[in-house]
Amino acid sequence: MSEQPEGQRRDDEGAERTTSVVDLGIYRQSVDPLPITFHRRELDAILWIYGRMVGEGEWRDYAIDHLKDRAVFSVFKRSGEYPLYRIEKNPKLAAKQGAFSVVGTDGRILKRGHDLRQVLKVFDKALKAAD
**pLDDT attached to residue 119:** 94
Closest CA to 122 of 95, 96, 90, 98: 98
For a pLDDT cut of 70, what percent of the chain falls above it? 79
Q: Is pLDDT larger for residue 39 or for residue 4? A: 39
Indicate left, alpha or beta for 7 from its phi (over 0: left) and psi (-120 to 50: alpha): left
Determine the Cα–Cα distance for residues 19 and 114; give it in Å rounded to an integer.
44
Q: Is pLDDT larger for residue 124 or for residue 80? A: 124
The most confident of 11-25, 76-90, 116-130, by mean pLDDT: 76-90
- In sequence order, the β-bridge partners of residue 103 are 86, 109
**pLDDT attached to residue 131:** 43
**pLDDT attached to residue 24:** 78
pLDDT beyond 70 at 27: yes
The answer to whether the beta carbons of residues 10 and 4 sit under 8 Å apart is: yes
pLDDT beyond 90 at 126: no
Q: What is the pLDDT of residues 55-107, one digit of tens each?
A: 999 999 999 999 989 999 999 988 777 899 999 999 998 888 899 999 999 99
Determine the Cα–Cα distance for residues 64 and 70; give it in Å rounded to an integer.
11
**pLDDT attached to residue 129:** 47
